[in-house]
Amino acid sequence: MTRTHENRTGTIVYNGELYNTDEVRKALTQLGRTFTTHSDTEVLLHAYLAWGAACLERLNGIFAFAVWDGERLFIARDRLGVKPLFYKRTSSGMIFGSEIKAILAHADVEASLTETGLTEVMSLSPSRTPGFGVFDGLEELRPAHYLSFDRNGCDVKRYWQVKSEVHQANAEETAGAIHDLLKDTVERQLVSDVPVASFLSGGLDSSALTAFAANTQTAEAPLHTFSIDYEDNDLHFKSNAFQPDDDQSYIEKMTDAFGTVHHRKIITIDRLKDHLKDAVIARDLPGMADVDSSLLWFSKEIKKQATVALSGECADEIFGGYPWFYKKELLSRPLFPWMSSLELRKGLLNEKWKKKLPLEEYAKAQYDKTIAETPHLDGETGENRQRREMFYLNMIWFMTTLLDRKDRMSMAASLKYGFHLPIIDSSNTFGISHGR
Which residue type occupies 128? Answer: R
Give which of 140, 134, 82 is closest to 409, Cα–Cα: 82
Span 121-150, mean pLDDT? 97
Contact 106, 86 (CB under 8 A): no
Cα gap 366→392, rounded to integer Å: 13
CA distance 65 to 47: 12
How much of the chain, in percent, has pLDDT values that exceed 70?
91
Alpha carbon 365 to its chain centroid, in Å, reads: 23
pLDDT higher than 50, residue 155: yes
149: which residues sit within 8 A by CB, 6+ positions away?
A: 72, 73, 74, 75, 94, 155
Checking if the pLDDT of 60 tops 80, the result is yes
Q: How far apart, in Å, are the Cα atoms of 424 and each of 78, 81, 160, 204?
A: 11, 12, 11, 18
DSSP H/E element including 369: helix 359-373
> Residue 430 in contact with residue 391, Cβ under 8 Å?
yes
DSSP H stretches of helix in 215-350: 233-236, 248-258, 269-274, 276-283, 290-303, 315-319, 328-331, 342-346
> pLDDT-based confidence at 428, cuts 50/70/90?
very low
Going by pLDDT thresholds of 50, 70 and 90, the confidence category of residue 424 is very low
Average pLDDT, the chain: 89
Stretch (H or E) spanning 383:
helix 382-393
Average pLDDT, integer, range 352-377: 96
pLDDT at 4 over 70: no
Q: Report the largest interatomic distance among the alpha carbons of the chain, rounded to a whole angstrom.
A: 68
**In a 3-state reduction of DSSP, which class is residue 164?**
coil
- Given a contact cutoff of 8 angstroms between Cβ atoms, the answer to whether 56 and 67 are in contact is no
Give the pLDDT confidence of 380-416 residue by residue, as tens digits: 999 999 999 999 999 999 999 999 999 999 999 998 7
- Reported as a single tens digit per residue, the pLDDT across 205-238 is 899 999 999 988 877 789 999 999 988 777 766 7
CA 124 to each of CA 99, 121, 127, 297, 375: distance values in angstroms, whole numbers, following the listed order? 19, 6, 5, 26, 23
Pair 202, 247: CB distance under 8 Å: yes
User: How does residue 301 score in pLDDT terms, banded at 50, 70 and 90?
Assistant: very high
What angle in degrees, to the nearest 10, is found between the helix axes of 359-373 and 115-124?
A: 80
pLDDT at position 47, please? 96
Is residue 53 scored above 80 in pLDDT? yes
DSSP character at residue 394: I
What pLDDT is attached to residue 196? 84
Q: Please state the φ and ψ torsions of residue 210, each to the nearest 5 degrees.
A: -60, -40
Q: What is the pLDDT of residue 156?
A: 97
Rounded to an integer, the average pLDDT of 257-277 is 95
Q: Please state the rounded mean pLDDT for residues 142-154.
A: 95
Average confidence (pLDDT) over 18-40: 94
Amino acid letter for position 340:
S
Residue 115 — pLDDT band, cuts 50, 70, 90?
A: very high
Which among 98, 39, 38 has a CA at the least distance from the CA of 65?
A: 98
pLDDT in tens, 82-99: 999 999 998 889 999 999
Q: Taking a C-beta distance cutoff of 8 angstroms, is the pair 135, 112 a contact? A: yes
The pLDDT of residue 244 = 63
Question: What residues pair up with 140 in beta bridges, in sequence order?
Answer: 86
Across the range 334-348, mean pLDDT stands at 93
Q: 0.85 cut: is pTM over it?
A: yes
What is residue 433's predicted lDDT score, i.e. its pLDDT? Answer: 26
> What's the whole-number mean pLDDT along residues 264-288?
95
pLDDT at residue 241 above 90? no
Q: Is the pLDDT of residue 342 over 70?
A: yes
C-alpha 26/C-alpha 311 separation (Å) is 29
Q: Residue 430 above 50 pLDDT?
A: no
DSSP for residue 57? G
Q: Which domains does the chain have, with CATH numbers?
A: 2-158 (3.60.20.10), 171-320+379-425 (3.40.50.620)
What local confidence, expressed as pLDDT, does residue 289 receive?
94
